[in-house]
C-alpha cells in the first residue's frame, strides 16, 4: 500500500509561499503558481536558465545528480544554486530566483 504524502511548502522570495504536491520539482511549483521562472530548454536539464538559490530547506530537496552538477557548474553548485527542473521538493523550502542566470 502506497502512503499518500502531504503537500509541502515552497516559498519564492518576493513571490509568495505555496503548498505543492510532495515530489514536485521547483520548476513545476513555479508553473503551478504562476511564478515567472525561465526555462529555455523546457525543463530537460540542458541549459541552466532555471537556476534558483536555496535559502533554507536544502535537506528537503532531492540530491543533485551528476548531470545537474555538470550543467550547473561546480561553482554555482557550491553557492547553493540548483536547477529548478531537476530539484524535487520533499519538505518546506525557501528560495530566490536570481535576476541573472
Please work out, in degrees rounded to the nearest 5, the angle formed at the alpha carbon of residue 52 by the alpha carbons of 47 and 58: 125
Residue at 82 is within a domain? yes
24-86-90 Cα angle (round to 5): 40
Q: What is the pairing mode between strands 81-83 and 8-12?
A: unpaired
Residue 68 falls inside a structural domain: yes
Total residues found in the chain within this entry: 101
> Domain containing 75 — which CATH number?
3.10.20.30
How many structural domains is the chain composed of? 1
Residue 28 DSSP SS3: helix
* Terminal CA-CA length for the chain: 42
Predicted TM-score (pTM) of the model is 0.92
Q: Which domain holds residue 14?
A: 8-96
DSSP E strands in 1-101: the ranges are 8-12, 16-20, 51-56, 81-83, 93-96
Q: What are the cell numbers at 38?
A: 525561465
Which pLDDT tens digits describe the chain residue by residue (101 residues)?
556 789 999 999 989 999 999 999 999 999 999 999 999 998 999 999 999 999 999 999 999 999 999 999 999 999 999 999 999 999 999 999 998 74
Tell me, yes or no, whether 2 lies in a domain.
no
Amino acid at each position: 500500500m502506497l502512503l499518500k504524502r502531504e503537500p509541502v511548502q515552497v516559498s519564492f522570495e518576493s513571490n509568495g509561499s505555496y503548498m505543492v504536491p510532495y515530489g514536485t520539482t521547483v520548476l513545476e511549483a513555479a508553473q503551478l503558481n504562476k511564478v515567472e521562472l525561465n526555462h529555455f530548454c523546457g525543463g530537460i536539464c540542458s541549459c541552466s536558465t532555471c537556476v534558483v538559490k536555496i535559502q533554507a530547506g536544502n535537506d528537503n530537496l532531492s540530491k543533485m545528480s551528476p548531470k545537474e552538477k555538470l550543467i550547473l557548474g561546480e561553482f554555482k553548485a557550491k553557492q547553493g544554486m540548483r536547477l529548478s527542473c531537476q530539484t524535487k521538493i520533499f519538505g518546506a523550502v525557501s528560495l530566490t530566483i536570481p535576476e541573472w542566470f
